[in-house]
Amino acid sequence: MNLDIEKFNECLDDGKHESKVNSLYEFGNNIGVDATPSFLVFNDQEIIKIRGNQPLEVFLKTFDKLE
């Protein structure tokens, strides 16, 4: 991955992006994200949550329900 671990650690220690990360984390919690990865499919009546690593068939079934 060629990560410069020293620069990465400096960035973490600096805290420059901490408030943005925390804000996005709270937003995710508020809309029901509770797994990684999570996918939210929105329609007019509901939000359909797909949690975790799922096969294509799960997504296709979800999309079919929207029609």
3-state helix, strand, coil in the chain (%, to 5): 50, 15, 35
Give pLDDT, residue 47: 84
pTM comes to 0.61
Residue found by looking up tokens 């990465």 in the block: 8
Give pLDDT, residue 67: 74
Give pLDDT, residue 32: 84
Low-confidence ranges of the chain (pLDDT < 70): none
